[in-house]
Structure 1
Amino acid sequence: MDKHKLELFLALRLVEAFLEAMEKQAEILANRNAACRPESPRSSAERKRLINLAIENCKDETVLQWLRENSESGTFRKLSDMFDFLKSKIDEEEKKNHDDTVDIIFVAHGSIRDSMIPAKCLLPLPTITDLVLYSPWNCATTPDVTYGIATGKMRPQHRVFYRSLPFFFHSRILFDKYQPLNLPDYWNSLKKAEGRKIPNIIVSPLQPNDGVWETFKSLSTKHGPPGRNRIVIPFILPGESESVPFSVVCLALSLVLLSSRFKATVHFNACLSDKSTGRESDRKYLQEQYYCTEDNTVMTCSPDAFDVNWWDYFKSLFS
C-alpha cells in the first residue's frame, strides 16, 4: 500500500470509528427507550401464552431451560409482535402452491454480540428442521447476497471477500479483494452445531434507503424470482427500527409454523459483524465453530452465480 493509499485508509478508519460510535449510541438509546415503554396487558398475556405453548411443544432440554430462565426477562418482550408479523406472512404463503416442506429466507440487518447462547435455541421446535447461516462470523454482506440466498443460486464457490470501510450507514467502500484461509466449502448449518454455543445475533428491520430490498427486486426482474417452495420474508416494519434478538424471531416463526401445514429450513440473510459492547467475541472459538473473518470483511456474490444453470432449469420444469 503506497503512502497516498495509506493516508486515505487511516482517514477512513477515523470516519469508521466515528460512525460506529454514533450508530452504537443511537442503538443503545433506542433500545433503552423501548425498554422503558410499559408492556400492554394484551402483549404481556400473549407473550406468556406463546412461551407456554413453546414449552409444551419443545423436545430439547437445553431449549426448555433457556425458555424457562428467560420467560420473565426482557428477551421475549417483542415475541408477540414478531409472531403477528410472521403469521401474516405465512398465512399468505399457505394460499400458494407450495409443498408442505419449504425453505424460508429471512432478510434483515444483523450483527453479533459478545453474549453467547446455545445454537439449539435457534431451532426451538421441530417445525424448523435446520437454520443455515451464510455469512461467516464477524463478516458483513452486500445486497447481491440476498438474491443469491433467496433463489438458492449462491453456492460456496461464489463467495467473494473484500476488506472494507463504511461510507454511510449500511453502505460500504470495498477495498482490496482477498480470500480468507481455510474457509469451509459449505454453509454454517446450526443443526450440525448441536450443543455448541454461538453469539447472540441481533436483527433490525430493513430501511427504505439501505438498498437491500431494492437490489433484490431488481435482480429478481433481471434473473427471475425465487422458485416454488421458497418463501422470502423481508424484515420490513414501516417506521420501526428497533432491534430484536434473532432467537426471538426463530421462536416466533417456529410457533407460527406449528399452526400451519409447513415445516421449514430457515435461511438467514444478514450481516454478522461483531458489534460487541464490551470485549470482542471469542474469535478463536468462532473459528472452530465455523469461521471468523478479520475486521471490516465483506462477503459478496460473484456475478456468474446468477447465470442460467440448465440442469437446475430442466429439473424445475418437472418439479
Structure 2
Amino acid sequence: MEAADLLCDSLFHWLDNRKECADKLLEMAQELENVHLGSNIAQGIGAAAYVASIISTASVAGFLTGGLALPLLAVAAAVGTLGAAVSIASPLVEAGISRKTIKRVNKLIKEDEEVGRRIQKQLQDLKDRCGGAKLGDHAEELDCEVTSQLMCALARRNNTHVPLDFLRAFNRATFYRHLTPGGLAPAEAESFICQALDLDRVPVIKSSLKVLDAIGSDRSLNNLIVTCKELVKRKQISEASKFLRDSARDILKGQQELQEQLDAMLEIIQKLFQMKNLINDLGEYSLSLTEDEQKIVYHIMGTCTDNRVVSWLQGVTHQTEFVNLLRFVLENFGSITENLIEPGRGDIHIVIVAHGSIVDQFMPAGFLVPTDNIKDTILYSPWNCSIDSSAAFGIAQGNIDLTNRQFYNLNPEANNMVYYEPNPLPDRWNSMRESLHNIPGILLSPVTPEERAWAFFHQLWTDRSMEIEDRIIIPYHVPQNGVNAFRQIPLYMLIFVISFVLKFYGKTATVHLAACLDHAGSPPMSDEWRTQYAFTSDGTHMTVNMDDRNMNPMLFRALRSLFDRQEP
C-alpha cells in the first residue's frame, strides 16, 4: 500500500477508537454517579488522574474542526500527544466502577497511543514522499501535495477512481490557488467551478502547518488536569461526572465534525469523478455545446491558470472548438496500447503533425510547456523554414540527427535548389523549456479530406498504427464525421488539451512538432527570430538523410503527400 493509503486507514481507525472512547467515558460517568460521596482522597486523586487523561483527548479534538482536508493532518499531529494510561484500577473499583470497564478503557487508551505513534510515522513518510525535505521553505506546496495524496487515497478506499493529477490540479485551483498566479479572478473562478460541479460554494481550508503549530504550542491541558484533581479532592463527584459527560460530548463532537469533513471530501471526489466521466463519455463532434459539455468548459475556465488559454476560451465559438479538440485528443489516446501508458514505464513522446505557420504576435516560450506533465516541447526547424517528408519522418521516428540536417532554397533565376545554411546555426534543437526568449505564435491548420495526405492518415488511424516504440503520432487531420468542426488553432491550445488528457493517465510527455514554420504572409521579424534561435530566408526548407530502419511505409507516404506536395 502507498503511504497515503496507510495513513488514511490509520485515521479511520483513530476515528473508530475515539467513538468507543467517548462511549466508555459516558459509561464511566454513569458509574461515578453511583459512587458514594464518602470516597477518600486517594480514590479521588485516582479518579481525577483518569478523568484528566481522557479530557486531554477531548481538548485536542476541539482544535480539529477547521477547513476541509487539513483536519486530517492536524489529527495526525495531535493523536500522538495522548499520554499513557494512568493506574486507575484499584481506587476506581473501590469507588464502584467495574473492572471490565476499566480494562476496556485502559486498552482504548493504549490503542490510541499506538495509533497516534503510527500516524505520526506515516504522516512523516508521506511528507518525505511528497518532497518535504526538498520543498523546505515552500511549506504550502507540501500542504497541497499531502492533501492531494490523502484525497486520492480516500477515493481509492471508496472505489471511486479519480486520478491524482486531476485532484492535484483541482486543489491548486481552489484551496491553494494563490500558489499559481494567473487565470480568472478567484471569485469568478469559483463561480465557474461551482457551476461545473453543481456545488453551492468551494470550501475554504487552512494551512495544515499552521494548525499543527497551534496544537503544538497549546498549554491548556495542564489546567484541565488541575481542575479535575480539584473537583475530586473536594469530593465533588457529581461535578466530576458532569465533566466526564461534557468531555465525552466534546470528543463525539470532534469525531463527528472530522467525519463530516471526510464526507465533504468524498463529495468533492464524487463530483470530480462525475466530471471525469463527462469528459470520457463525450459523444460525436458537434457545432454546439450540450449542458454537460458546457460544464466541462466551465471546469477548465475555473481551474486553468494559463491566461492565454482562459482568454481564448472566452470566445463562444472557441468553446465549441475546444470540446471538439478534446474529443479529438481523447480518440487519439484511446488507440494507445496499454503497455505504453502503464505505470512506471516513464515519459512518452507525442509527435504533432500538421500544417504550420508563424505570426508576428510573440509570447513566452514557456507557454508551450503549460503544465508539469509536459516535460518539454521541441521545435526542429529554424523560424521561417519549412520541412520536407524526410525531416518529418525523422521527427516522427525519433532518430532525426542534429548533424545530418541540410537546408535548401529555390534559386528563382536558375529554377533549381541551392544549399543554404542559416548563420549562425545552433548546435541544438529548439527547446521551449530551456528558452528564455519570446517566440512567434505558431498556428496549426488541419489536414482536410480534399488533400491526398488525409486518406493515408485516416487509414493509419483506423489501423491503430500511429505508434513507434515510445512515440505517439497525432496528425491534426479532420475526422471524417467532423469536417466542419475544426479550424486553424494555436499550437499552445493543442498542447494544453494534451496536457489535460494526460492527467487521466498519470503520465508525463515531451511534445515534438513536425510542421513548417514559415511566416506565410506575416511581417518578417528577423531580429526576434535570430535572438530566440535562428531563421532562414523565404522559401527555405530543412531535410535530412533518410534512416529507413523500422520504416512505416504508410506513414512515410502520408508525410510525403503532406510536406512534399507530390504523388507518392
Please report the RMSD computed on the Cα atoms of aligned residues, expressed in angstroms. Answer: 3.2
How far apart are residue 178 of structure 1 and its match? 2.2
- Offset of residue 65 of structure 1: 3.4
Cα 1:109–1:68 change in 2 (3 A) is closer
Tell me which amino acid in the other structure corresponds to 1:163. N
| Greater fraction strand | 1
Question: Compared with structure 1, are the counterparts of its residues 151 and 243 closer, same or farther at alpha carbon in structure 2 (3 Å cutoff)?
Answer: same
User: 1 CA distance for matches of 2:516 and 2:549?
Assistant: 25
Q: Distance in 1 between matches of 2:367 and 2:495?
A: 8
Tell me if 1:156 matches 2:406.
no
Q: Does 1:47 align with 2:297?
A: yes
What is the alpha-carbon distance in structure 2 between the residues aligned to residue 299 and residue 213 of structure 1?
25
Residue 213 and residue 111 in structure 1: after superposition, are their counterparts in 2 closer, same or farther (change >3 A)? farther
For residues 55-204 of structure 1, the aligned pairs below 5 Å read: 55=305, 64-73=306-315, 76-77=318-319, 78-93=321-336, 95-98=338-341, 99-164=345-410, 175-194=417-436, 196-204=437-445
The answer to whether residue 515 in structure 2 is matched with residue 270 in structure 1 is yes
What TM-score, normalized by structure 1, do the two folds share?
Answer: 0.68
Q: For the Cα contact (< 8 Å) 1:50–1:80, is it kept in 2?
A: no
2:456, 2:411 → 1: CA distance?
22
Alignment match of 2:544 (pick from 294, 301, 306): 301
Q: Deviations over 1:72-124 (max 9, x none)?
A: 14794422211111112123215244524111111111001111122222111
CA 234–269 in structure 1, closer or farther in 2 if over 3 Å, else same: same
Tell me the equivalent position of 1:253.
498
CA deviation after TM superposition for structure 1 residue 266, in Å: 0.5
Match of 1:243 among 467, 484, 488: 488
Structure 1: gaps of 5 or more residues: 1-36, 56-63, 167-172, 219-223, 309-319
Distance 2:472 2:549 in 1: 21
Partner amino acid, structure 1, of 2:335: E
Q: Which amino acid aligns with 1:202?
A: L
| C-alpha contact (below 8 Å) 2:466/2:472 kept by paired residues | no
State the shift of 1:175 in Å: 1.9
Give how far 1:249 is off. 0.3
Tell me the amino acid that sits aligned with residue 520 of structure 2: K
Shift of 1:242: 2.2
Structure 2 residues not aligned, in runs of 5+ = 1-285, 551-568
- Which structure has more relative contact order (CA 8 Å, sep 6+)? It is 1
In the alignment, is the contact (CA less than 8 A) between 1:164 and 1:298 conserved in 2?
no
Give the number of the structure whose residues are more often helix, by fraction: 2
Change (3 A) 1:93 1:307: closer
Q: Tell me which structure has the larger Cα radius of gyration.
A: 2
Taking structure 1 as reference, are residues 97 and 248 closer, same or farther at Cα in structure 2, changes over 3 Å only?
Answer: closer
Q: Distance in 1 between matches of 2:472 and 2:466?
A: 11
Q: 1:97 to 1:129 in 2, by over 3 A?
A: closer
Percent of residue pairs identical: 27
Contact kept in structure 1, 2:349 and 2:472, CA below 8 Å? yes
Q: 1:94 to 1:262 in 2, by over 3 A?
A: farther
CA deviation vs aligned residue, 1:278-302 (integer Å, no higher than 9, x gap):
xx14211111101111111111122
1:246, distance to aligned residue in structure 2 (A) = 0.9
How far is the alpha carbon of 1:130 from its aligned partner?
Answer: 0.2
- The alignment partner of 1:90 has SS state of helix
Q: CA deviation at 1:306?
A: 4.0
Change (3 A) 1:226 1:144: farther
Residue 52 of structure 1 aligns with an amino acid whose one-letter code is G
Q: Report Cα offsets for 1:117-176 as digits up to 9, x if no partner.
A: 22222111111110000121101111222210111111111211111399xxxxxx8622
Deviations, residues 46-88 of structure 1 (Å, cap 9, x unaligned): 3332233433xxxxxxxx3334444414794422211111112
What letter matches 2:304 in structure 1? A
Whether the 8 Å CA contact 1:151–1:226 is kept in 2: the answer is no
Tell me: CA distance 1:155–1:51, structure 2 relative to 1, closer, same or farther (3 Å).
farther
Could you say if the C-alpha distance between residues 289 and 283 of structure 1 is closer, same or farther in structure 2, counting changes exceeding 3 Å? same
Give the structure-2-normalised TM-score: 0.40
Mapping 1:209-248, distance limit 5 Å: 209-211=451-453, 214=456, 227-237=468-478, 238=480, 239=483, 242-248=487-493
How many aligned positions are there? 248
